[in-house]
Structures are given as C-alpha cells and as structure tokens.
Amino acid sequence: MTSRDQPILEVKNLETHFPLDEGTVVAVNGASFEVMPGKTLGIVGESGCGKSVAARSIMRILDKPGEIVGGEILFRRNRGESSEKVVDIASMDSNSAEIKSIRGGEIAYVFQEPMTSFSPVHTIGNQIIEAIRLHQDISKEGAREIAIHALDAVGIPLAERRLSDYSFQLSGGLRQRAMIAMTLVSNPTILIADEPTTALDVTNQAQLLELMSELQTDNGMAIVLITHDLGVIAEMADHVAVMYLGEVVESAPVDDIFHNPQHPYTKALLKSIPKIRSNSSERLASISGTVPHPYDRPPGCAFGPRCDFFMPGRCDASIPALQEVRPVHQVSCFLYDEGD
Amino acid sequence: MTTTESRLPEERLLEVSDLEKHFPIKQGFLKREVGRILAVDGVNFHINDGETLGLVGESGCGKTTTARCILRAVDPTNGEILFRTREDEVVDIAMLKGAELKKIRSDIQMIFQDPFSSLNPRMTLLDTIGEPLLLNNIGSKHDREERVAELLEMVGLRPEYMRRFPHAFSGGQRQRIGIARALALNPKLVVADEPVSALDVSVQAQVLNLLADLQGELGLTYLFVAHDLSVVKHISDRVAVMYVGKLVEMAPTDELFSTPKHPYTAALLSAVPEPDPRAKSERIILQGEVANPADPPSGCYFHPRCSYATEQCKLETPVLQEITDGHYVSCHRAEELILEGVLAE
Ligand SMILES: Nc1ncnc2c1ncn2[C@@H]1O[C@H](COP(=O)(O)OP(=O)(O)O)[C@@H](O)[C@H]1O
Ligand SMILES: Nc1ncnc2c1ncn2[C@@H]1O[C@H](COP(=O)(O)OP(=O)(O)O)[C@@H](O)[C@H]1O
Ligand code: SF4
Ligand SMILES: [Mg+2]
Ligand SMILES: [Mg+2]
C-alpha cells in the first residue's frame, strides 16, 4: 500500500503563541516535522523549547490563552468513512466533534506527569471502562473485560484487582503503565508520549521503553516520543527532530543525528553529555550561556548567541530556513545555505 | 571529644559504619508506632581526602537520608560517622551535640537539587551567600561583601550581581549561587544531592565542569549523590551503589563500570540507554519494583528481582565484604558470578 510511504501526520510551519499581558510567548515558531505510519519520531530539545506545546497543539488541548496562529497539522484519517481523508487539525474548532473523535481515538497522548492524568476520585477501573465506552458501544461487563486485558497487556500484575485501585495507590512506574493502558483501548494509530519516562528510575524506564516497542510491533502504531534524553532517543527513534526555542533546527534519520549531525546545536548537545560507555573522563564540552526566554528571542538564528560558528551580519540578520542537505536530512543553519 | 583518631586511617576524611536511620510509622489517635521505614539500614563506606565518592541507586533507596545523617540534618538511629576536622581532630558526627556540632557544620556543606526552591526569593545574593558568614560572626560587613564578591567570581558569576534577587537568574546560575553559598565557610566536605538533575543538558555540563575546577583549586572532597549513572561515572573517583537502605557495592569508578560484582549494579548499568543508535545492546530488564523499606524481603533484599538468587539468598542477609583490593560487594555469589559491565576492561 502506498499510504505506508506517506506521512500519517505532517506538521508544517506550526506557530503557537501565548499572548500574555507581559508580551507574547512565541512557544512554537514555525516548526515542521512528519510522522510515518508504524515508525517512531523522536522530538528532542531542552526544557522550554516548545515540545509539549507542539504536542498539545496537535491534540488541540492548549491551555488558555495559547493559540495556533499559523501553519498546518495535516492528519491522514484511517477510521470508517473518513479513511484516507487528509484533514487539517490546525484549522478545526478545538471543540468540534471531528477533533474529539480524533483525540483519544486515533491519536492518543500520554502526559509527562501521570499523577495528573488520572482523576484522584475515581478508581482506575472506572476511568478505563469509561474511556472504552466513549468510543465503543459495549456493555459495562464487556468494557471491564477489555480493561483487564489492557492492564494485563502493559504488564501490570494482578490486573483485575488493580481495577479498584486509585491512581495514588500505584507506584510511578505502574501509574505510567496504567496511563498507557487507558490510551491503548481506543487502538490509536499515533501515540504521542510526552517525556513518559522522565519521572522514572532507569530500571522502570527500561521496562516502559520495552513495553512501548512491543506495543508498536503488535499494533503497528506510530509513536511520537518527546524527551530531553538523547539516550532514550537513540534507543527508540527511527527519525529525530531537534528543537531549539520553538523551531526544528535539524531533522534526520536517527543514525545521521548521532553519527553525522550537521547543526551546530545538535553537535554541541551531543558533545556536552557524559557517556556511560566511554573510558574518558575528560572535561565536558559545554555550551556557553543558556536557552533564552521566548520573550527575548535573539534576532536571526535563535542559537546564534551560543554558537561557535556565528557569522555576524548573516546569522543575526534573518532566520535560516529548514533545508534539505542530504536525502531526508534537513538543517536550518546558514552554514549550509547555498542559496546566495 | 571522643578519642577516635586511631580508628580513622590517615587518608580518609570520612568513614560511615553500620549507619541506620529508621523513621517510625505512626497511626491512630494515640500516634502509636505501627512500623518502621528502614530508610538507611546498616550502611558502611568511606571517603578519602580530596576525592569524589558517587552514591547511586533508584529513588527511595536511602541516598538523601544517608546524606542528611552525615550533615546531621537528621539524627541517625544507630552507627558511627567518623570525620576528620580541619584541626585534624577525628570526631564521631553521630554523637556530637550543641557547640561541637555547630563547629563541625562549617566543615561540611550541602548543595541541593532544586536551584529554584533552595534559594530564598526575598534575599539578595549578598544576603544568601553571606548568611553562613553572618551566622558564624565572621568578618565585618565590608569583609563579607569582599568574600561574597570573591565567591561569585569563583563560581563564574559577576560580582556586580551581588545586590540582585534570585528570580533574575536561570537554573544554572541559581545552582552556581547555591555552590557559592556552600563554599562561603571553606568547607572540607561538600555533599551534593542531585545537584545537576534539574538542569538542562547544556547547562549540566557547565556545572559539572565548575565542580571539577573548584575541587582542583580548593582541594574539596565531594559526596556526589545522583541517580544518573553517566553523570556519576563522569565525576566520581569511586562509586557506591545503594539498594533499599543498604550499600550493595563500592569500587573505583572504572572497575565498577567495567566489572560490576553485584547483580543489581550490573542491571542498573545495563538499563542506561546509550546515546548511540548503533550500540543497541542486550538489556537486562529488571522486573518488578524496588522493595518497600517498611517491609523488606527476607535474606538479600534484592533476591525477588535477582536472576541469580538461590535458596541461601532468601534466607541469609549478605554482608558487605572487600573481595579484591578496594572493591566491596554484598552478595552471596559475588566471587563466582561473572557479570557484564558497560566499559571495556
Ligand atoms: N500555559 C502557558 N502559558 C504561557 N506560556 C506557556 C504555557 N505553556 C508553555 N508556555 C511557554 O511556552 C514555551 C514552550 O513550553 P513547552 O512546550 O512546555 O516546552 P518543553 O515541553 O519543550 O519543555 C515555554 O517558554 C513556556 O514557558
Ligand atoms: N522524613 C521522613 N519521614 C518518613 N520517611 C522518610 C523520610 N525521609 C525519607 N523517608 C523514606 O525513606 C526512604 C528513603 O528515602 P530517601 O533517602 O529520600 O531516598 P533517595 O534519596 O534514595 O530517593 C523512602 O522510603 C522515603 O519515603
Ligand atoms: S545475594 Fe543472591 S539474591 Fe542477592 S544479589 Fe547476590 S545472588 Fe542475587
Ligand atoms: Mg514539556
Ligand atoms: Mg534523594
């Protein structure tokens, strides 16, 4: 089928702003990336670079006063009558029936903080059963069976007994699994996981990553994995988008990102992390300065003030565009700009 | 003071023996004690003068409580904490009281994880960094200002920032402020509890480099507590691994990462995802969760998750033993198991 070679989700020049009294926070500033069916897109970047806002823009669950002010979010639908129809999520009303059926149905979202994703006053069982009955016409008993099966599938021991637990009774690792179980009951074609392992220990992280890979093999869903951890990206992603201050600065297959990085930010980031499997304990190559606040975004290339290759008069004069430097490898940096 | 000199070998700055900290679990109207959380349950380790000892383990295994015992932020339930003061006297921190304890406090300082909540938003950098000097009646107002300026410079901040408030600074800068404050009294031992965990990767490298520079310049000794094994490997001379209130292994860094001797250490190391897609290795994926410190398993606390466990492991609690020079392990099978590390030998 040709649709396997076409992106299931295409984000083009997305711009999401938060107009506040103090000024406008440009949280996402023209970001573009694609998600291929059955594959994992890793989105990596330091805190505040717009990863979560981009994800919440796709789900259309932005906090007020956040709004999408530009760009497209093209989603290839695959359910019932609308199968293969491409819709623009960015132009939908955030309360429309269409986005509601996509959200929690075809596209599922797992939060960074699993504590807030379950209601503390209902049992886990009731919440999962409700999620199932929202999308399927099925009896309570039937939904209960599916819920037990889902908890079992994500490796929660004694699944049936857990149905009557409240989320605060579970450990962080189990809560994150239960959250994934709840999203899986709708059989999503895309799972967006926003820092799913950041609050977990390495051992629980390894368990969860393994679970996500298994589920992907079984269900063929695409995963958008958002994280600041380059180790997690290397392990899980097929393709990687590197974000800096609301923009995608480099987008490439995972092997290229780690073995042939092009953007000065990607290069610097890779050099600055200590590596567990290397014998040297030399000084780390640090990146000077800090990520600027999106209020005072520097003119031109946002990475300019921290960049070792900064070209005055060029890099601070205009914003470099994301351009293909090799097949499926895109970079936004004037070092690679042969346009003029 | 206790005569403990003879028991602390010359090269050691600190030696912790059989340290225990139990928190009572109280319930009901009468607040009866119904159980105990064995947060630290018989820990032994030492730190040599001028080195960095890394302390790792999953969350809840007692790292912070161990650190707090050394600082006497909590009172240990049992055990001994021998420390060599700047006057070259050896004291047992666990036994100190009142003025003696206060005196020792300037020798041991702490750097906290969260640079946002650990600084008072209503105090300027001068007040925050100079507070330890003021509390110890050191110097005049003018002397203190000079010292704060010097400290700011030492941690890579401009002395002109002295009269600003912490909200004007980024996470990395706030962590530098916390470091400057910790150094104000010229400590010998700095206990850093997850000092870079809340920082972005690009800033984390700056702070790790700063800590290394300061150690070189000032001859500091660090106890570096963290859950990120890559960071710990980078900064530590030796590493100690904790599991449910107990130390399970301690060795020089390269040795621990190349030839771990405890199954828990090997599993922890193997779980760390490597930032290289070509290096996809076979993982040991530990099943289950960390044991509950209020109700630990019998025998070796790790046995329910250990793939090498035998009958003996369920029945007998292993003790920490030095199996080769400087390599301590607490596992019944330490000498026979051949475990894989993450470094070539
Ligand atoms: N509800 C909000 N109101 C105002 N600003 C916000 C809100 N949510 C996020 N932002 C801002 O948008 C930027 C991007 O945030 P976010 O997407 O959460 O970053 P990341 O997930 O990459 O850490 C940040 O500067 C953040 O402060
Ligand atoms: N003040 C306290 N009162 C009761 N229990 C505590 C207290 N401090 C820590 N604990 C418990 O002791 C155990 C060890 O905690 P901690 O030392 O913070 O571990 P770590 O720093 O390794 O994550 C945990 O089970 C924790 O809940
Ligand atoms: S003592 Fe037994 S259970 Fe404990 S780590 Fe060693 S082999 Fe495993
Ligand atoms: Mg986020
Ligand atoms: Mg801790």
The whole-chain average pLDDT of chain B stands at 92
One-letter amino acid of B1: M
Nearest CA in chain A to B292: A171
Tokens of B70: 């050394």
> Domain boundary residue among A169, A185, A201?
A185
> Domain boundary residue among A141, A158, A185?
A185
DSSP conformation letters of A259-285: HS--SHHHHHHHHHS--TT-S--PPP-
A171 to B289: CB separation less than 8 angstroms, yes or no: yes
Report if residue A7 sits inside a domain. Answer: no
- To test the contact with chain A by mutation, choose from B176, B202, B231 the residue with the greatest count of A C-beta atoms within 10 A, namely B202
Pocket of ligand 1, beta carbon within 6 A: A 18, 25, 27, 45, 47-53, 63, 66, 294
Kindly give the parts of chain A with pLDDT less than 50. 1-2, 340
Report if residue A37 sits inside a domain. Answer: no
Q: Which of B201, B278, B344 sits opposite A46 (nearest CB)?
A: B201
Q: DSSP character for B101?
A: H
Nearest CA in chain B to A47: B200
- Rounded to two decimals, the pTM is 0.90
Distance CA A185, CA A189 (A): 12
Chain A residues closer than 8 Å to B343 by CB: 277, 279
Q: What is the mean pLDDT of residues B107-127?
A: 88
Q: What is the mean pLDDT of residues B27-35?
A: 84
Ramachandran angles phi, psi of B322, nearest 5°: -85, 105
Report if residue A175 sits inside a domain. Answer: yes
Q: What is the pLDDT of residue A1?
A: 45
Q: What is the pLDDT of residue A114?
A: 52
Report if residue A97 sits inside a domain. Answer: no
pLDDT tens for B121-176 read 999 999 999 999 998 888 899 999 999 999 999 999 999 999 999 888 888 899 99
Pocket of ligand 3, beta carbon within 6 A: B 262-263, 300, 302-303, 306, 308-309, 313, 318, 331-333
Please name the residues in contact with A164: beta carbons below 8 A apart, sequence gap of 6 or more.
A123, A124, A125
Q: Which of B233, B285, B343 sits opposite A274 (nearest CB)?
A: B233
A228 to B285: CB separation less than 8 angstroms, yes or no: no
Report if residue A161 sits inside a domain. Answer: yes
Tokens of B82: 């021998």
| Nearest of B151, B125, B20 to residue B79 by alpha carbon | B20
Asked whether residue B53 carries a pLDDT value surpassing 80, the answer given is yes
B202 lines ligand 2 (CB under 6 A): no
Report if residue A279 sits inside a domain. Answer: yes
Q: What is the mean pLDDT of residues B225-239?
A: 95
Ligand nearest to C-alpha B63 = 2
For residues B290 and B336, the model is more confident at: B336
What separation in Å is there between the alpha carbon of B59 and the centre of ligand 5?
Answer: 6
> Domain boundary residue among A137, A166, A185?
A185
Q: What is the number of the ligand 3 atom nearest to the C-alpha of B313?
A: 2
Model confidence at B1, in pLDDT bands (50, 70, 90)?
very low
Please name the residues in contact with B344: beta carbons below 8 A apart, sequence gap of 6 or more.
A279, B258
Tokens of A192: 């967006």
Angle between the A140-153 and A172-184 helix axes, to the nearest 10 degrees?
Answer: 130
Number of Cα atoms under 13 Å in the Cβ half of residue B127? 10
Chain A residues closer than 8 Å to B206 by CB: 286-288
CB pairs under 8 A between A and B: 136
Ramachandran angles phi, psi of B76, nearest 5°: -65, 150
Chain A residues closer than 8 Å to B234 by CB: 274, 281, 284
Distance from CA of B138 to the nearest CA of A (A): 34
Query: How many domains in chain A?
Result: 2
Q: Are A228 and B201 in contact (CB under 8 A)?
A: yes
Q: Are A16 and A69 in contact (CB under 8 A)?
A: yes
| Nearest of B195, B207, B201, B172 to residue B275 by alpha carbon | B201
Helix, strand, coil in percent for chain B, rounding step 5: 35, 25, 40
Tokens of A110: 């797992």
DSSP conformation letters of A59-104: HT-PPTT-EEEEEEEEEE--SGGGTT-EEEGGGS-TT-HHHHHHBT
B277 to A206: CB separation less than 8 angstroms, yes or no: no
Report if residue A136 sits inside a domain. Answer: yes
Q: CA-CA-CA-CA torsion for B231, A227, A44, A33, nearest 10 degrees?
A: 170
pLDDT tens for B165-206 read 988 888 889 999 999 999 999 999 999 999 998 888 888 999
Q: What is the mean pLDDT of residues B288-304?
A: 91
Give the structural domain span for A278: 260-336
| Nearest of A310, A295, A287, A195 to residue A245 by alpha carbon | A295
Report if residue A219 sits inside a domain. Answer: no
